[in-house]
Chain A
Amino acid sequence: MADHTSGSNEKAKAVVEAFPKKLNRQALLSFASCVHCGMCNDSCHYYLATGDPKMTPAYKADQVRKLFKYHVDWLGRLAPAWVGGKTFTDDAQLEELKDVVFGTCTMCRRCTISCPFGVDHALMMRMTRGMLSAQGVAPEGVKVVSNDQWQTGNQMGVSQEDYLETLAWLQDELRNEVGDPKAEIPIDKAGVNIVFVVNPREIKYAPMSLLAAAKIFYAAGEDWTMPSVGWDNTNFGLFSGDDKLGAHMGNLAYDQAIKLGVKKMVVSECGHGFRATKWEAPNWAGRDLPFPIESFLETMVEYVNTGRIMLDPSANRKPVTYHDPCNLGRSAGITEEPRFLLKRACMDYREMTPNRQENYCCTGGGGAMSMSEYSSRRLQVAKVKADQIKATGAACVATACHNCVDGLTDLIKHYKINIPVKNVCEYVADALVLRRAAHVTEEMPAELRGRSVLVIDDDPDVVTYLTTLLQDHGLKTFTARNAAEGIKVARRERPDMITLDISMPGRSGIEVFTWLRSEPEMTGIPVCIVTGAIDFRQLMYHRNVPPPDGYIEKPVKADLLLMTVRRILEIKLHKASPVGVS
């Protein structure tokens, strides 16, 4: 790292003091054992894609290990330069270290399984992230999301009201889908078999997977519930290195499960969420849990094995491949369950190479999706994953993690592979053989007809497509072809909702969005981002203003657009009748 100076050293001093205290035996061994053999070099996607010697796992670890060598290692304390030891004397050095531990490592652990010693880079990186975070030296998105988990109990700052309204809306969707007006998404039902904890992305932006899960529970005749609190299975404590936050998030979920007296907790498809909830948070919280925790993948396998659900693979005819999320494959031992399910739910399953515990990271791990300052590097190193996907010849990708869905979607767009990515449960739900024929509604409910949507997009084809679709479903539309016009029309027409493109000539959609969220008379208008650019993620994570109400990626799929518009309008305008909390 280059030596810059900031003139202050308080934070550097605190980090140096904290370092030896943070070491446990496993961390000490990881710092002490590396012989710099370089065997792990090309296991890392950062190095593989860039060829940059500063991107090898050992080099990156050495940026922290220098502290170990200087302050802890026996020879290093006498002759630090001889063993590569160096200490931090200026806060500016911490900023450089931040870029290394947050911006060049997704804590995927592929190097660990390649290392003849098993040096755990993720452990060292997380420990360092923790020391930096404690000094406030962390990417903005990590700080915002961590703060939201502390304040609201979920990483997207979803209010209790929005959470319950979304579930009510989803329950309506479920009833439509399965054709049963009694189908339920129960909340806080005591004494049930399963409490289901989810990723807030499923509530806020991508309810398809939660709907799929509800449909599977319905088909299996499961006695289950969503909790009204402690429902977020994600845990930024894992990414920020803050064990206290890790314990807090675990405790929220565990306490509610105990209060409800459930038999087990099932974690929806989220790699780090499952790892944190099942394996890490009990350690952070120092708790022995009175109930087992399993992944929804395991639950679905049990349903298939016991005949509680039946699958018809002809529902998924296109070739599909599976991306193993690092946190499931390398840190939680879940590799066979998704394959079992996909082979039964799809006609043409194709293995990705390498796979299982050797799979490459989606590049969105370790909280990378929330760090937009490193997006361009993330996409550059994603070439490894893009090549892996292309080589399968698959027409769609399945994974079991919401982070991976986002990471893969970004790289697929960037490398123009143009295939969809969905969670495993969505393939399973599509293949479900229901007693009643499923009925997917694209109808706009009567109370939403006549509502107005402002479409802001510089592409005339997109404008025509969106407005035609919305008008065909009874909505009134206004259009604007650039930011200035969009602001003008929004002020004049006060639409019920806005769809907003991000990349437009002149002022960008991000500026328009910030304006909409800051103008008192505009803040009540829900905004759905419709974009082909990946910069929109900063609106979700760097929240100077409240995040968007939804997002849809281009090319826009009609059913997804209609579903999202319906969800946003129903929740924000109609305020679906709240579901009962039993």
Chain B
Amino acid sequence: MPIHLSHFTAVLMDEVQIAALLFMAVVYALKIRWVLSYKAGKERTPSRGDTGKAIRYAYTTVAMPWELPSTRKHWFRWVEFAIFHVAVATAIGVTFVMPYWPKAIASPPVVSTLQAVFGLGLLAALSRLGRRIADPSMRAITSPDDAFSLIMLACWLGAGVLAAPQTSEPALIAFFGLTAFFLVYVPFSKISHYIYWPFIRYYIGKHLGHRGVYPAKAVPNRA
């Protein structure tokens, strides 16, 4: 059962989150305006393919690991990616539910499920971190922001495991404290990639669709 929270924790889970969320929303709006302030390159030639279909294809490849040569080859990393992002999305969802409808996610099966999801997400984060440390080609492209973001997300998911039962106030403080931190830091860090993703997929889909490259042709002999 959810415990009784101190005033500090209650404010952290409510007003602080809302303020941080508003801050993030404003920065994201500005960021999108910033992206759109750059002129998009256009094709003057008649299209060779189905651009709409290609854009849809570009968006859906994220869920079709067999379509990209990289995810086909490194399927384990795709699974890791999926688990990690599902865990992060779930944790974000929890930060909205827990302060206002704590009982909705307090039953033991739900708590166990959340802990399992966060735990797997944490493992995925650690595996990614391990790769960045052990693999020289990954080390070479890892910036302090990359490493920091991953470590902080791992900590956040770890805090999520402890906070999910809503029985430990320190765990809740850690989880929501980190959430507030992320809401402010994320728009400036590499984690903001998901703001860019819909744009870049749209343009690459449109470009390759225009040229008849996307959707990828049926390739019976792909490696």
On A, residues with C-beta under 8 Å from B are 23-26, 28-30, 32-33, 35-43, 47, 53-54, 56, 58-59, 62, 74-75, 81-84, 110, 112-120, 278-279, 282-283, 286-289, 292, 329-336, 351, 353-358
Contact = CB atoms under 8 A, between A and B. Distances in A.
5 nearest A-B pairs in the assembled complex, by CB-CB distance: A333-B212, A118-B204, A114-B70, A84-B143, A53-B140
B211 A333 contact: yes
A288 B205 CA distance: 22
B146 A75 contact: no
Contact of A330 (B39, B136, B213): B213
Given A75-B188, A333-B48, A358-B69, A38 B141 contact: yes
B35 interface: yes
Contact of B141 (A59, A356, A358): A59
Given A54-B140, A116-B61, A356 B219 contact: yes
B138 A39 contact: no
A20 to B, nearest CB: 10
Interface string B69-95: 111011001000100000000000000
Contacts of A42: 70, 73
Contacts of B42: 283
- Which residue, A41, A116, A292, A335, has most C-beta atoms of chain B within 10 A? A116
Given A25-B40, A279-B211, A357-B217, A35 B193 contact: yes
Nearest to B223: A354
A294 B21 CA distance: 53
22 contacts: A26-B207, A29-B35, A32-B35, A39-B71, A39-B74, A41-B137, A53-B139, A75-B188, A82-B148, A83-B190, A84-B144, A84-B145, A114-B70, A118-B201, A118-B203, A282-B45, A333-B49, A354-B69, A354-B221, A355-B221, A356-B216, A358-B222
Nearest to B213: A333
B100 interface: no
- Which residue, B142, B146, B213, B220, has most C-beta atoms of chain A within 10 A? B213
A494 to B, nearest CB: 53
Nearest to A52: B137
Contact of A331 (B138, B142, B196, B211): B211
Contacts of B141: 36, 38, 53, 56, 58-59, 62
A38 B129 CA distance: 12
Contacts of B62: 116
Contacts of B73: 42
Interface of B: 31, 35-36, 38-46, 48-49, 58, 61-62, 68-71, 73-74, 77, 81, 131, 135-146, 148, 188-190, 193, 196-197, 199-201, 203-205, 207, 211-213, 216-217, 219-223
Contact of B136 (A35, A53, A288, A332): A53
Contacts of A283: 41-45
A74 B36 contact: no
A112 B204 contact: yes
A265 to B, nearest CB: 12
Given A24-B39, A26-B203, A113-B69, A358 B211 contact: no
Contacts of A81: 144
Contacts of A287: 44
Contacts of B70: 39-40, 42-43, 114-116
A357 B49 CA distance: 15
A117 B193 contact: yes
B22 to A, nearest CB: 18
Given A282-B44, A351-B221, A56 B140 contact: yes
Contact of A116 (B48, B71, B213): B71
A238 B69 CA distance: 26
A279 B70 CA distance: 27
A74 B30 CA distance: 11
B68 A114 contact: yes
Given A29-B196, A35-B190, A118-B205, 20 more contacts: A25-B40, A35-B193, A36-B146, A38-B138, A38-B141, A39-B70, A53-B140, A56-B137, A56-B140, A59-B137, A59-B141, A82-B148, A83-B144, A112-B204, A286-B44, A351-B221, A356-B217, A357-B219, A358-B219, A358-B222
B223 to A, nearest CB: 4
Contacts of B190: 35-36, 83
A82 B185 CA distance: 13
B58 A26 contact: no
A25 B35 contact: yes
A224 B141 CA distance: 53
Nearest to B197: A117
Nearest to A283: B44
Contact of A83 (B71, B135, B145): B145
B31 to A, nearest CB: 8
B143 A82 contact: yes
A286 B42 CA distance: 10
B201 to A, nearest CB: 6
Contacts of B77: 39
Contacts of A330: 213
A75 B204 contact: no
Contact of B196 (A32, A56, A332, A353): A32
Contact of A33 (B61, B131, B148, B197): B197
A57 to B, nearest CB: 9
B153 to A, nearest CB: 12
Contacts of A41: 137-138
Contact of A24 (B41, B48, B61): B41
Contacts of A29: 35, 196, 199-200, 203
Contact of B188 (A28, A36, A74, A286): A74
Nearest to A118: B204
A332 B68 contact: no
A351 B44 CA distance: 34
Contact of A355 (B136, B140, B205, B219): B219
A110 B223 CA distance: 14
Contacts of A336: 217
Nearest to A51: B137
A109 to B, nearest CB: 9
A530 B81 CA distance: 54
Contacts of B139: 53
B196 to A, nearest CB: 4
A47 B197 CA distance: 26
Given A25-B38, A333-B49, A33 B200 contact: yes
B3 to A, nearest CB: 37
Given A353-B223, A358-B222, A118 B58 contact: yes
Contacts of B189: 75
A353 B222 CA distance: 6
Contacts of A58: 141
A30 B49 CA distance: 23
Nearest to B210: A279
